[in-house]
Structure 1
Amino acid sequence: MNDVSKIYRTIFITFTTGLCLLVALMPAFAFSQTEGTPIYNPPQKDAETRRREGGDIGSATANVSRGMTRGMTRGMTRGMTRGMTRGMTRGMTRGMTRGMTRGMTRGMTRGMTRGMTRGMTRGMTRGMTRGMTRGMTRGMTRGMTRGMTRGMTRGMNRGVTRGITRGSADAIEQKLANYLSKQGISLYTDETPVQESEGKVEEGQIQEDTGEASEDSANEELAQSGEESADEQETGAHGGPAMPSIMAPIASLQTGYTTKSQPVLEWYISGPWADQIEFTLNEYGKTEPVLETQIKGPEKEGMYQINLADYNVTLKPGVEYEWFLAIVPDPQERSGDFLGSAAVMYVEPSANLSEQIAKASPAELYSVYAKEGYWYDAIENLSRRIDEKPEDKTLRSHRVALLEQVKLGKVVDYDRKQL
C-alpha cells in the first residue's frame, strides 16, 4: 500500500506542477509571436485575486487560477469583514425586531392560552369543590337552624292567634243561633244562598312584539380579495427588464495600479439595462464608502467609463480601493444583487517611468503603461485611441490581447466581433 500511495502522490505532484507551468506560460505563448502586442506585467504576480464578474465570462484559465486563489483569499478576507459587519448589523436589527415581535406574539398567545386553560381548570376545580363543600355545609346548617327556629316561632304565633280568633267567632255565632231559635227565628234561611259567579276576565290574546330584525340581503357584495391582476403581475418582477448575462470591470485580476489620483474606471455589460446601476467606491478596511451613487444603465452592449473626477473623488497614494457595480433587483434582499468588482491603487510613477512616458509616442504610450504594471492607465489610453480611430483593427487587436492576458474571456468577444 505504501508503494501505491507513493506512485499516486508522484503522479499528482507531476500533474499539478505541469498544469501550473502551463497556466503561467500561456500568455507568453499567445503573444510572443505577435510583434508590437502590449504585454501587461502585474506589479504583484502572487497577489490575491480581487476582481469579480457578474455572470460567466467563460475563461478556462481564469477558472483554474481562481479555484486556487479566490477560495482561500476571499473566504478569509471577505468572510471576516462581511461576517463582522453583517453579523453585527443583522444581529442587532433582526434581534430587536424578532425579539419584540416574537416576545409580544408569544407573550400574548401563551398568556391567553395558559390563562384560559389554567383559569378554567382552576375555576372549575375550585368552584365545584368550594361550592359543594360550602353549599352543603352552609345549606344544612342554615336550613336546619332557620327551619327549626322559624317553624317553631311562626307555628306558635299563628296557632295561638288563629285559634283565639276563630274559636271566639264560632262561639258567638253558636250562642246567637240558639237565642234566635228560642224566639222562633231561624238564623239560616232555606234559600240557597246565591253565590255570585265570579266574573270571568276575558283573556285577550297578548300579541308579543317580536322585534324581529329584517333579513339580510342574500346578494351581499363580497369583499375585495386584494390580489393583483394579471396585468399588474406582468409589470412587476416578471415584467421588468431582462438581466444582462455579463457585467464585468475591465480590470486586472489583482489590484491594478494607476498614475492618476482621479482615474477612469472601465466596465463592460453584455446588454441594455433600463434601470439604475449602483456604483460604490470603498477604501479597503473602512466601513463607510468613499462614494455611493446611481448611474444610468446603458442602452446597449459595450464598454463604458466612470471618471472619478466627475464626482470630485481623489484617491490617496498607496491606498487600495475597491469599486463595485451592482444591479439591485430587490433592495430588501441584497444577496440577489448582480454585481462586479475590482481593486485600484494610486501609485505615483517613479522617475524612470515618468521619463519613459515623456519620451513615448501616442502609439507607444499604452504599451509603456502595461509593461510597468499600470493597468488602468494602459486600458484607458488604448480605449481612448480606439474611440478616436474605431476602424483601426490593430488598436482593437491590442485591446483583445490585453483583455485575454487578464482572463476576461467572453468580454473579449465584443472586440473580436469588430475585427
Structure 2
Amino acid sequence: MQRPTVSLFLGLILCIGLLDPATTPAVSDQPTASQSGPKEDAPLPLYQPPKKLTPRARVGGGLRGTDGSDPVLVALVPDHVGLTAKKSPVLNWFLSKPTTYPLKFTLIDIRSVKPLHEGPIPTPDHAGVQSIDLNDWNLALEPDVQYRWYISAIRNPDSPSQDLVAGGVIERCEFSACLVEMEVDLSCDRQSVLRNAMRGFWYDAMACLCQLIDLNPADQALRRQRASLLNQIGLSTVAQWDLRSIPAPVR
C-alpha cells in the first residue's frame, strides 16, 4: 500500500527538478512579438504649394527616351515657383544614367538678361539624385526675387540648341516673413521635412530629405517620403526609379 505514495513523491521531486530556475529560461531572455514585428511606417510629407503660384516654371521633367544613348536630366522641383528660406540653398536634380557629356549650371535673376552665374560642374559618376550647393559658388539669393536655374548636358559645344536641359524657378522669402508668418523650420531632420513641406518650402524640405538619404541610403522610410513628394509634383517616374534603387539591407 506504500508504493503509490512513494511513486507520487518521486514524481513531485522530478517535476521540481525540471522547474529549477537554473535550467529554466528567464522571461527577459525569450523573444517577444514586438522584437520581430514590423515597424510602423513613417508619416509621408504633404506638400502645400504657396498660395501665389506661377505655373509652367519647370523645364524638362520626364524620363522618356532613357533607352537611348542620351541621359535624361530632371529638376526635382514643382511646376511653379518653389520657395526657400535660405540665402544659399541646395538645388536637387536627377540624372537617369551616367554620362560623359560636360555639364553646366546656370543661375539667372529674372530681372536681368545676363546670367548671375554660368559655369561647368563636375559630371557625376553615377545615376540618381544629385545636388548643387549655391554656397560652393558663393552665390546668394535676394529675398522676394525669382531666379531661374538650369542644368545643361552639352552634347555639341558648337550647337547649344542640342543641349539637354532641366531646370526650375526658385524664390527666397524675406527672413522675418519666413520665420514669423510662415513658420519655417531651419533645422534638418525628419520632422522638419514634414513641417517645411506642409508650409510650402519645397526646396528646404527636398534638400534636407536628400541629405538624410545620402547619410542613410538604405533607409526605406526616407526613400518613400521622397517618392511621395515627387509623386505629388508629377515626377512619378523619378519616384519609381528612386524606390527601385533602395540598397538591399546588409545581413
What TM-score comes out, normalization by structure 2 length?
0.73
Q: Flag the structure with higher strand content.
A: 2
Partners of 1:45 and 1:287 in 2: CA distance: 24
Deviation at 1:298, TM superposition (A): 1.4
Q: Which stretches in structure 2 are left out of the alignment for 5+ residues?
A: 1-40, 247-251
The answer to whether the Cα contact below 8 Å between 1:275 and 1:296 also exists between their aligned partners in 2 is: no
Distance, in Å, in 2 between the alignment partners of 1:243 and 1:344 is: 27
Quote the Cα distance in structure 2 between the aligned partners of 1:300 and 1:318.
Answer: 35
Equivalent residue for 1:357, pick from 164, 172, 185: 185
Higher helix share: 1
Residue identity in the other structure for 2:63: I
1:414 CA displacement: 2.3
1:406 maps to: 233
Change (3 A) 1:312 1:329: same
- Please tell me whether the aligned partners of residues 101 and 155 of structure 2 are also in contact (alpha carbons under 8 angstroms): no
User: Within 2, Cα distance between the matches of 1:372 and 1:319?
Assistant: 19
Q: Deviations over 1:12-46 (max 9, x none)?
A: xxxxxxxxxxxxxxxxxxxxxx8721000110465
Name the structure 2 match of 1:211: none
Following superposition, the deviation at residue 312 of structure 1 comes to 0.7
Could you say if the C-alpha distance between residues 381 and 35 of structure 1 is closer, same or farther in structure 2, counting changes exceeding 3 Å? closer
2:210 maps to which of 371, 380, 383? 383
> Tell me, what secondary structure is at the counterpart of 2:211?
helix
User: Amino acid of the residue matched to residue 57 of structure 1?
Assistant: L
Report if the CA contact (8 A) 1:266-1:306 is conserved. Answer: yes
Residues 46 and 307 of structure 1, relative CA distance in 2, 3 Å threshold: closer
Which residue of the partner structure matches residue 274 of structure 1?
100
Q: In 2 relative to 1, CA 318–252 (structure 1 residues): closer, same or farther, beyond 3 Å? A: same
Percent identical: 28
Question: Alignment partner for residue 298 of structure 1, among 124, 135, 140?
Answer: 124
The answer (yes or no) to whether the contact 1:280–1:325 under 8 Å persists in 2 is yes
- Structure 1 CA distance for aligned equivalents of residues 134 and 185 of structure 2: 22
The CA distance in 2 between the partners of 1:361 and 1:342, in whole Å, is 23
- Deviations along 1:198-247, whole A, 9 cap, x unmatched? xxxxxxxxxxxxxxxxxxxxxxxxxxxxxxxxxxxxxxxxxxx9421x20
TM-score normalised by L of structure 1 = 0.45
CA RMSD of aligned residues (A): 2.2
- 2:63 paired residue number: 57
* Cα drift, residue 361 of structure 1: 8.4
Q: Which residue of 1 aligns with 2:48?
A: 41
Residue 139 of structure 2 is matched in structure 1 by 313
Kindly provide the CA deviation profile for residues 157-196 of structure 1, in whole angstroms up to 9, marking residues without a partner as x.
xxxxxxxxxxxxxxxxxxxxxxxxxxxxxxxxxxxxxxxx
User: After the TM superposition, which residues 305-344 of structure 1 pair with which residues of structure 2 at under 5 Å, given as runs?
Assistant: 305-344=131-170
Q: CA separation in 2, counterparts of 1:340 and 1:269?
A: 10
CA distance in 2, matches of 1:264, 1:319: 17
The residue that corresponds to 2:199 in the other structure is 372
> How much does 1:352 deviate?
4.8
Letter in structure 1 aligned against 2:87: S
- Mapped to 1, the partners of 2:51 and 2:74 lie a distance apart of 21
Q: Which residue of the partner structure matches residue 261 of structure 1?
A: 87
Q: Look at both structures and tell me which one has the larger radius of gyration over its CA atoms.
A: 1
1:143-162 equivalences in 2 (<5 Å): none
Within 2, Cα distance between the matches of 1:386 and 1:362? 11
5+ long unaligned stretches in structure 1: 1-33, 59-240
Q: Distance in 2 between matches of 1:368 and 1:333?
A: 44
Q: Secondary structure at the match of 2:86?
A: coil
Seen in structure 2, the aligned counterparts of structure 1 residues 385 and 285 have a Cα distance that, compared at 3 Å, is: same
Distance 1:401 1:391 in 2: 17
Q: Kindly tell me: are residues 397 and 337 of structure 1, through their superposed partners in 2, closer, same or farther at Cα, counting changes over 3 Å?
A: same
Structure 1 segment 233-272 matched on structure 2, within 5 A:
242-244=69-71, 246-272=72-98
